[in-house]
Amino acid sequence: MGNDYPTQYQKSIEQPEIFWAEAASQIDWFEPYERVLDDRQPPFYRWFTGGVMNTCHNAVDRHVAAGRGDQVAIIYDSPVTQQQNTLTYQQLLHHVSRLAGAMDQLGVEAGDRVIIYLPMIPEAIIAMLACARIGAVHSVVFGGFAAKELAARIDDAQPKLILAASCGIEVNKVIAYKPLLDEALRQSQHQPERCLILQRPECQANLDAPRDVDWASIMRHAPQVACVPVQATDPLYILYTSGTTGQPKGVVRDNGGHAVAMQWSMQHIYDIQPGEVFWAASDVGWVVGHSYICYAPLINGSTTVVYEGKPVGTPDAGAFWRVIAEHRVKALFTAPTAFRAIRKEDPDGHLIQQHNLSHFKALFLAGERCDPDTLSWAQEQLKVPVIDHWWQTETGWAIAANCLGIEALPVKPGSPTKAVPGYAVKVVDALGHEVPHNTMGHIVIELPLPPGTLPTLWQDDDRFKASYLSTFPGHYLTGDAGYQDEDGYLFIMSRIDDVINVAGHRMSTGAMEEVLAAHPAVAECAVMGVNCPLKGEVPLGLVVTKDGVQTSPAQLSGELIQRVREKIGPVAAFKNVALVQRLPKTRSGKILRGTIRAMANGEDFTAPATIDDPTILDEISAVLSVLGYPAD
């Protein structure tokens, strides 16, 4: 069969066992698997049952054994501490095997859980790999996460050990982690046996013996240990989804299917070969950090960048271009919100022109829908393919993308292109019937999901089925709404709950945001539906302007309202729009539309633990008040 996209996609759907067996040949197995796809207990499908392997071996040891130990594995770039250094694969093996030895001395065994509470430093990657090395199940919690949320994750995962740093650094502010950890342990019912604390020079933590152990001290005498063979279906990690309420929802990732998917995606989606530099500008606390800072680049034998900084403010909007130029990054993966922030401060791209980006080949965007205007600006400034792709914490890798390593397809702004091989994506109505092209509907994926996706939720099979599999039997509910055009291109317009009903008309808030974002004065925007006694729901728009915009707020608001009226129609009833200094976001860059909606509707809400800066909500509240929200 050919290597073009249609052939590869068709093979993955019609002959999944042959397709994924070929992919699995690219990783090392200690014992061969008995079944590629185990479909004996639907809807709980498993991949590579009976196979024995180790993820750390595939990410580190095998590259050293192949004679590539001197190649750089990790580039650490920290503008907040003014540090840069590198780790070769041989050095990485040394650090990982010794940290695994230290954890072994502390009583951690295969199957035990370990919580990792670290900032964007190499030790975070080392910790993840060390857990994988001995078969422990890691759960990374975003560094600096609130004590209450950390406590909930401790109680759910019940770790034997917690690995934490004394602090993290947000631009120029030191965030002490140890007091947050101590408070979380006071609140949690489960108590780990030990906490291993990495002291950073910016903040020294007080250690409470015998529970707390100094990282540097134990590492000085820790033995190096070998990889522990694990079943392909054994869990590698638990990642708790953001925005959960009540009992945390822990996405489980297995070892075998995950390693196969990471290896395959690195070369076929991102077109990254061993030895090339890949940079995912995210955080290890998010799924992007798990998949594309840690595991995929290293399993592929590439070089990964660990960046402790921001797109703007460390020190300016040229930070990304400096990192790309200095470290010869071939491809960057980041969130659209990062580019909106960069564009706001440097709309003409002057800072881009100060760096040599000749070796930079592609930009990948994900995390939020990329509006066509931001995509076009990035294309114009960077002169490389800008690839919007779509995936979720639950899937662990892209559902839809322009697979540059198979066949680069024409870009359609606003679309993440087509379904990635392995994903049988459909658009259906409320009854589960497929809808015609260009018709909005629920986006679902026919089971089985491909390797690397979640097999279940941590210790909660019933919730897994209820959350994702019960609405449309035989299909995974993505929770996103959109449509597919006549060429098979997907358009992800919004979450299902962001499709609003205006006087009986189903309207996409994503489509309205697309119109607003195209205005030359708009840096970023958010549209959400709010209650209306007459129409049921009406859209509310909040807009952040680019720096230096001279247009008056009243004039700009009028222009934006007219644009939506012209592009979408009067039926949208778009009449309320306000200018704000900034939008509330999670630390991963997702705009908190649901929180804004609740504020406008006068509903009770709790600021998500992942919010970047809670003070923004006070600013939004003041703006909503001027607009007359919450309405009587």
pLDDT in tens, 31-57: 999 999 999 999 999 999 999 999 999
Q: Please confirm whether the linkage preceding 413 is cis (ω < 30° from 0).
A: no
Which residues, 6 or more positions from 215, have their beta carbon under 8 angstroms from its beta carbon?
Answer: 123, 163, 196, 197, 198, 199
Range in 138-152, 281-295, 311-325, 342-356 with the lowest mean pLDDT: 138-152
Q: What is the pTM for the complete model shown?
A: 0.87
pLDDT digits (tens, 9 = 90+) for 429-455: 999 999 999 998 999 999 999 999 999
Mean of pLDDT values over 478-485: 93
Which CATH number fits the domain 5-309+389-482, given the four candidates 3.40.50.720, 1.10.220.70, 3.90.1280.10, 3.40.50.12780?
3.40.50.12780
Share of the chain above pLDDT 70, in %: 97
Residue 291's pLDDT is what?
98
Domain map of the chain by residue range?
Answer: 5-309+389-482, 503-627
Q: Which DSSP string corresponds to 440-489? A: -EEEEEESSPPTTS-S-BTT-HHHHIIIIISSSTTEEEEEEEEEE-TTS-
Local confidence band at 548 (pLDDT 50, 70, 90 cut-offs): confident
Is residue 388 within 8 Å of residue 375, measured between CB atoms? Answer: yes
Does residue 210 have a cis bond before it (omega within 30 degrees)? yes
C-alpha closest to that of 192 among 285, 110, 116:
116
Instruction: Write the pLDDT tens digit of every residue in 5-38.
Output: 999 999 999 999 999 999 999 999 999 999 999 9
| pLDDT, average across residues 395-421 | 95
Of 135-149, 300-314, 322-336, 468-482, the range with the lowest mean pLDDT is 135-149
- Of the listed ranges 155-169, 209-223, 522-536, the one predicted with least confidence: 522-536
Asked, colleague to colleague, whether 5-309+389-482 and 503-627 share their fold, the answer is no
| Res 505 pLDDT > 90 | no
Residue 96 CA, distance from chain mean position: 24
Q: Smallest Cα–Cα separation from 576: which of 543, 540, 608?
A: 540
Tell me the torsion sign for CA atoms 56, 59, 62, 64: negative
Distant-in-sequence, close-in-space partners of 320: CB < 8 Å, separation ≥ 6: 281, 311, 332, 334, 338, 342
The predicted-structure confidence for 561-586, as pLDDT tens digits, reads as follows: 999 988 887 778 899 999 999 998 87
Specify the higher pLDDT residue, 487 or 241.
487
Q: Which amino acid is at 73?
A: A
pLDDT band at 243 (very low <50, low <70, confident <90, very high): very low
Q: 244 falls in which pLDDT band (50, 70, 90)?
A: very low
Q: Check whether 123 has a pLDDT greater than 50.
A: yes
Check: CB of residue 132 under 8 Å from CB of residue 54.
Answer: yes
CATH 3.40.390.10 fits 503-627, yes or no: no
Handedness of CA 54, 55, 57, 62 (dihedral sign): positive
Residue with tokens 């290896």: 263
d(CA 496, CA 499): 6
- Mean pLDDT calculated for residue range 508-532: 89
How high does pLDDT run on average in the chain? 93
Mean pLDDT of 421-431: 96
Distances (CA, A) of 558 to 21, 308, 544, 563: 57, 41, 15, 9
Which range, 168-182, 235-249, 369-383, 557-571, has the best average confidence (pLDDT)? 168-182
What is the average pLDDT across 477-506?
Answer: 83
What pLDDT does 632 receive?
52
In the prediction, which pLDDT does 536 show?
A: 77
| pLDDT over 90 at 559, yes or no | yes
